[in-house]
């Protein structure tokens, strides 16, 4: 039986749209299958915690409506949702999810309880100022909280359920915008991971989606954050997820990425086995499911570049990458002030991590599948608006530093491509056959530089894709040149990218609202230095 087979009435106000709220609303959802005595014990613990945290408590449980009515008499402040006797855990969560419009939803099961005091901790973290947390050097670790991985001994006389839950080692953070179609596949892949579920938590941040992204995440997530009103971008969404993360290591996975069963385990083993590694980027695999020439070209090209870049790197990859929580805090988190779209916010973060003296590596063996479907227009727009322009709009020192030979080759290929375009234009204007023949000369080094890439395309997808990759490469280099020039002009005339005037005004005044306005982030550390 699927979730859709159960009839539920979805409230019109399911997506929060209130403006000017001082603090986010909080709900706790319990899916219950065990006997009533065990549920009574769990609710006896959670009810006072929810009251102190001003959190709504919702329990979804198979059984008749009469049982829910009887439970309501005992726990008057709890919302009980009855479900068919054969309802699955996923269906119980979905049924409960539509009963709340809270900004933050915490999930638990009566067989896997929450960590002791976690609900009140969530409320405290939501009430803290993000900038103050970063400046304090402990980020979201507030006064009185344990450090990640620090296991407390249960208090004397504490009920067994309270002592059972332990903080996870990994916090997996998935930002999503309008991802209801693809998100279930991505989250289901995470749940299939061979790393034991108790060792990692799943936090989904819905960046003001107008579809059912949050509802799609409910069967899988441990915690959902819903950003109301308007989207602020993946950098902002990932930072909000980090505020509520408990793990020593943060794993960032995009909503259109499907990890392999061993991906999380390899991240965990890599950090546990090498204390000197602070950030790890994974790789796309060579089995993208999206059909079509452009999709295969783009997804396989990204896999090829990842496989060629193994070892130390000066960047970070947020589609499937992990970083130690304390390093992420020290680096100042993602730059949510300048990046309102999925652009180069992860590359820029990687630069700051390396500037602090921490070690970042790329591990091609830690892989995931990219589910994205590319179009030619989408590829062009991504190259211009989300790569070339934002790269050049960074400050000159950041934009001018190439971190790997791969980028140097791309810059060289872009230059040769534009030389060929210039010679071709002269050939048309002057009607000269010599200029037309000369157009081929600058293309020769481009083809030579990409010879291994074309061999890879032929090996994995045949000669057809290898040949089609040549004009697609040239198109990419041509529009990349446009993006670089446009970004340089904007940087010199307008300056670095900034949020809209309303956000800037709220940031200057310092008004505290939910969602919090984007912050300017921690001060940048000069390259090659590390604070004492």
Instruction: Please tell me the distance from the alpha carbon of residue 326 to that of residue 323, in angstroms, as a whole number.
Output: 9
What is the C-alpha to C-alpha distance for residues 164 and 158, in angstroms, rounded to an integer? 10
Q: All domains of the chain, ordered by start, with CATH?
A: 23-127 (3.90.550.10), 130-140+160-373+496-526 (3.90.550.10), 376-493 (no CATH)
Cβ–Cβ < 8 Å for 56, 27: yes
In this prediction, residue 131 carries a pLDDT of: 54
Residues paired with residue 31 on neighbouring β-strands, in sequence order: 60, 109
pLDDT of residue 363: 95
Rounded Cα distance, 60 and 82, in Å: 6
Q: What is d(CA 155, CA 1) in angstroms, rounded to the nearest whole number?
A: 42
Least confident of 54-63, 399-408, 457-466: 399-408
Closest CA to 468 of 277, 331, 340, 294: 294
Q: Render 140-193 in DSSP notation, one character per residue.
A: T--TTPPPTT-PPPPPTT--HHHHH----SEEEEEEESS-TTTHHHHHHHHHT-
**Bridge partners for 170 per DSSP:** 200, 249
Phi, psi (deg, nearest 5) at residue 501 = -60, -35
Highest mean pLDDT, choosing among 12-21, 71-80, 260-269: 260-269
- Token pair for residue 50? 């929810």
Residues 487, 493 contacting (CB under 8 angstroms): no
Contacts of 500 (CB under 8 A, 6+ apart): none
| Mean of the per-residue pLDDT values of the chain | 83
Write the pLDDT tens digit of every residue in 456-515: 999 999 999 999 999 999 999 999 999 888 888 888 888 777 787 778 877 777 777 888
Point out which residues pair with 223 in neighbouring strands.
106, 203
* Phi, psi for 161 (deg, rounded to 5): -65, -35
- Report yes or no: 223 and 243 within 8 Å, Cβ to Cβ: no
Distance CA 49, CA 29 (A): 13
In angstroms, rounded to a whole number, what is the distance separating the alpha carbons of residues 9 and 99? 9
For the entire predicted model, the pTM comes to 0.86
DSSP string for 457-513 = HHHHH-HHHHHHHHHHHHHHHHHHHHHHHHHHHHHHHT-S----HHHHHHHHHT---
Interval 415-435 mean pLDDT: 87
- CB proximity list for 215: less than 8 A, separation 6 or greater: 14, 94, 97, 98, 180
Model confidence band, residue 141 (pLDDT cutoffs 50, 70, 90): very low
CA–CA dist 510, 156 (Å, integer): 43
pLDDT band at 163 (very low <50, low <70, confident <90, very high): very low
- What phi and psi values does residue 151 have, to the nearest 5 degrees? -90, 115
200-207 vs 277-284, strand pairing mode: unpaired
SS3 content of the chain, % helix, strand, coil (to 5): 45, 15, 40
Give pLDDT tens digits for 106-123.
998 877 778 888 999 999
Cα separation of 100 and 6, whole Å?
Answer: 17
């Amino acid at each position: 039986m699927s979730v859709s087979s159960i009839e539920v009435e979805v409230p019109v106000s399911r997506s929060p749209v209130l403006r000017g709220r001082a603090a986010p609303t909080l709900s706790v959802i319990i899916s219950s299958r065990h006997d009533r005595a065990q549920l009574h014990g769990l609710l006896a613990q959670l009810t006072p915690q929810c009251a102190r945290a001003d959190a709504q408590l919702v329990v979804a449980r198979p059984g008749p409506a009469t049982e829910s009515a009887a439970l309501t008499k005992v726990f008057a402040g709890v919302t009980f949702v009855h479900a068919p006797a054969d309802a699955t855990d996923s269906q119980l969560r979905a049924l409960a999810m539509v009963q709340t419009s809270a900004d933050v939803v915490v999930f638990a099961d009566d067989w896997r309880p929450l960590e002791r005091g976690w609900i009140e901790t969530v409320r405290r973290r939501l009430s803290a100022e993000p900038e103050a947390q970063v400046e304090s050097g402990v980020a979201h670790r507030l006064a009185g909280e344990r450090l990640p991985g620090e296991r407390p001994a249960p208090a004397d006389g504490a009920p067994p359920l309270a002592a059972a839950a332990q903080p996870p080692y990994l916090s997996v953070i998935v930002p999503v915008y309008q991802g209801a179609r693809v998100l279930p596949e991505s989250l289901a892949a995470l749940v299939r991971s061979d790393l034991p579920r108790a060792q990692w938590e799943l936090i989904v941040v819905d960046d003001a989606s107008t579809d059912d992204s949050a509802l799609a995440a409910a069967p899988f997530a441990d915690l959902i954050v819903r950003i109301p009103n308007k989207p602020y971008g993946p950098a902002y969404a990932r930072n909000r997820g980090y505020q509520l993360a408990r793990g020593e290591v943060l794993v960032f996975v995009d909503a259109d990425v499907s990890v392999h069963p061993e991906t999380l385990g390899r991240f965990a083993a890599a950090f546990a086995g090498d204390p000197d590694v602070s950030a790890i980027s994974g790789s796309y695999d060579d089995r993208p499911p999206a059909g079509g020439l452009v999709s295969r070209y783009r997804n396989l090209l990204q896999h090829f570049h990842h496989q060629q870049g193994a070892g130390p790197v000066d960047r970070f990859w947020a589609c499937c990458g992990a970083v130690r929580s304390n390093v992420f805090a020290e680096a100042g988190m993602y730059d949510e002030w300048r990046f309102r779209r999925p652009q180069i916010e992860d590359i820029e973060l990687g630069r700051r991590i390396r500037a602090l003296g921490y070690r970042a590596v790329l591990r091609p063996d830690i892989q995931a599948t990219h589910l994205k479907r590319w179009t030619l227009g989408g590829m062009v727009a991504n190259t211009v608006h989300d790569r070339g322009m934002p790269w050049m709009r960074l400050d000159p020192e950041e934009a001018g530093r190439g971190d790997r030979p791969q980028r140097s080759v791309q810059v060289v290929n872009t230059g040769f491509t534009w030389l060929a375009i210039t010679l071709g234009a002269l050939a048309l204007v002057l009607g000269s056959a010599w200029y037309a023949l000369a157009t081929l000369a600058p293309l020769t080094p481009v083809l030579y530089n990409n010879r291994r890439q074309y061999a890879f395309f032929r090996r994995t997808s045949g000669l057809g894709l290898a040949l089609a990759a040549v004009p697609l490469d040239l198109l990419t280099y041509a529009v990349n040149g446009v993006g670089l020039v446009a970004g340089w002009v904007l940087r010199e005339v307008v300056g670095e990218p900034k949020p809209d005037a309303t956000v800037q005004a709220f940031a200057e005044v310092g008004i505290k609202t939910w969602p919090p306005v984007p912050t300017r982030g921690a001060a940048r550390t000069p390259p090659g230095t590390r604070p004492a």
